[in-house]
Structure 1
Amino acid sequence: MHESTVTSKGQTTLPRDIRAVLGLHPGDRVRYVILNGEVRLLKSRPVNDLEGLLRRRGSDPVTLATMEEVTAEAGADEGRGV
C-alpha cells in the first residue's frame, strides 16, 4: 500500500510507483473520480489521443453515409415488426 501526506495547501506528492503505473510524467494532468465513497485516480487524456481507439485491424472505417443507411434500414425493419 502506498501513502503520501497532504500539506496545509491540500497538495500531495504521488509516490513513484503510482506515477509509473499511471504513466505520469511532469506536466501530465490527473482526473479524480468519486465512486461510492472511494476516489479513483486516472491519467487525463486529450480528446485527440482517442483517435483510432476503436479501430479494428483489417476492417475499413464506416462512412457517415453507410451509418445513415443502416440506421434507416433498422428503423424500417422495426416499423414492420421485424
Structure 2
Amino acid sequence: MGITTMTSKGQLTIPKEIRDELKLTPGTRFYVTIRNGQVVAVPKNKKLADLAGILGKPPNGARLSLEAMDEAIMDAVSEDDERIRREWSEGDR
C-alpha cells in the first residue's frame, strides 16, 4: 500500500512500486467504483476473467440468470439516460 494525495483536479499518482507490480504504463485506463466506502480502481488492461468476484458474493447468496443480468443492465442504462436528459434540460434554463 502506498500513500498519495489527490490534486484539485481529482488526479492521483499511483506509487511507482504499485505501477511496477501491476505493469501499469502511461495511458492505462481504469474502471473506478466505490466498494464498502472505498475507491476501487481496476486497470482496464486486465482480462474480464480477472475481474471475477471483484464485488464479492451477492449479499443474499442468490445468483442471477443471464436474462436477469441483461434486464438489470437495461434498467441501469435507461435510468442513466433519463438522468442525463434531465440534467441537459435543466442546464438549458
Q: TM-score range by the shorter chain?
A: 0.3 to 0.5
Structure whose alpha-carbon radius of gyration is higher: 1
Name the one with the larger helix percent.
2
Q: Highest relative contact order (Cα 8 Å, sep 6+), 1 or 2?
A: 1
For normalisation by structure 2, the TM-score amounts to: 0.42
For normalisation by structure 1, the TM-score amounts to: 0.47
